[in-house]
Chains A and B, each alone.
Chain A
Amino acid sequence: MKHIKSSVLLDAFFAKLSHGGALIVLILVISIFAVLLGYSLEALSQLGLEFFTEEKWAPNLEKFGARSAIIGSLISTFLAMALCIPIAIGIAIFLTEIAPNSLKTPIGTSIELLAAIPSVIYGMWGLFYFVPLMRDLFGGLGIGMLSASVVLSVMILPFMAAVTRDAMNTTPDILKESAYALGATKWDVIQAVVIPYAKAGIIGSMILALGRAVGETMAVTFVMGNVHRISWDITAPATSIPVTLANEFTEADSSLYFSALFSLALVLMLISFSIIAIAKFYFLKKVRRGL
């Protein structure tokens, strides 16, 4: 009798304990938003809309305009995606439809492993190898928006190529064969069958990659320059939200400065949260991925 009673208690205890584990995630998300918002209030209330519209960011004058960082984030991410998407699709087509079987596995596996290499390594490569190349090609410092976008695109490339390939691989052979049986060429088949079939998965994964790229810090911090200016010259130094945070967070010496940085973090969190939510709810509903 006593034995059964203790097991009922243990059962309830284990259920509560694991419920707690699940609740922690929710508590974390709520506290992240609450804390970021709390520390942002000072800057947001003092600066108001100007925080978003003002370009000038001069901490010594207590002037904090986030426009160049926000625009910088958007441009670097956009450029990175524009460079990465065609190459990732090229790799995926190559791996699913062109490469001989003896190459598919080794190349595919190396790409998956490259996706696991930490972003700080990509940033380091950018600083020591890509920036000098840009300097030789375009003059100037070599550090700037374009370098950051290229390094960022190379960093998200393995992830994007791997998931695009996985999505394309889900196309049933029999469906491709029926297109071939109508006299289709390889490209006809890719265009009419493989891409439409894998579309939701491909777009969803791309948006997921976009969400990661927006928040990526280390790949760009090395090579962007952290200059708060918006320039038409994409080879000029620039900044983005993560770059500003990484460079200035430990330097903030006034409470307004500090609060302005938290506002940037909040904006970044909101952007990334919404992008990933869109990817999840609109495109990846059916396509479940592992890690």
Chain B
Amino acid sequence: MNVTSKAWVLRGGLVRVPLIQLEQRTSSAVERRPYIWAVASGKGGVGKSFVASNLGMALAKQGKKVVLVDLDLGSANLHTCLGIPSPKTTLSHIIEKNVSNMNDFIVYGHEPNLGLISGASDSLHVANLLHYQKLKIMRNLARIDADYIILDLGAGTNFNTLDFFLFADQGLLVVIPEPTSIENGYRFFKSILTRQLKDLPAKTKKLINQVLTEHKNEKGVARSFAGFLEDMEDLHPAHAHGIHKVLSRFKLNLIVNQVIEPSDTKLGAALSVMFRKYFDTPIYVLGYLYHDSHVLHALRQKQAYYAAFPQSRNATCLERMALEMVEQSASDLVDTVRLES
């Protein structure tokens, strides 16, 4: 197959270049560093750890070197999803003992390409991480020897969780077809939006907060953040421009987990339309995963689901999504190369 002749246009008009070309370019143009995906949800128990661990597994099976990092400090259980016994060294040891090389603290299960830095600990909660500790973790993440790092973030919208999400190259939001999950998913995005717009003038911030939290309809008009932005373009073009710039930097992806009804499979597309319409922000639908009672079987057998049920339809979904992740990462890196050269 002649891959080099293929290039195609991706969202935002960016040109996607095939992997082979990418590898030639990156090796010469930029230093190798892991590409970081952050998995978040707003609501707990929707399957973040399930998604993170099994996407990691699928990527590893495709020959990628992957390290999962459990940042759900306080209720870390990523090791369980992977069938790895509770690791002795965890993130909190690393922080407390002033370790500089995280690579020594990666633990492995059956899959040699898939490592884990566990967050299991009673002593630490992510919300309580001090600023310098957070920065230290971030610095060390970038030095991990891997193709991909997947951050499993905890539920909720505390600043540290938001900052790790914003730190990553790509953000992945997991929802399930339930009103509470959708509500928390939107709340999570609103939180990262406000976090990212923290440098705007106080008056504008207050307005944004009102739009995001109250959205009362005035004069028969349904309010939205996108509508607010349009008004801003006339009133304060400079601020509107700044916000658009922030929005355009987000690299958001979506997975609908625990799909049961056939109609649930369309939820991702519907949410993506609402992100465009309400927030003026694109979110890429990576795919969906079915609710499957075998997830529980795999847990009981202390095995990763993807490894235990490679023939399941979810395994097919995971493989497809892993391929998408590779493509997206590649196109993003090509853009970085272009910017830096």
Q: Does B associate with A?
A: no
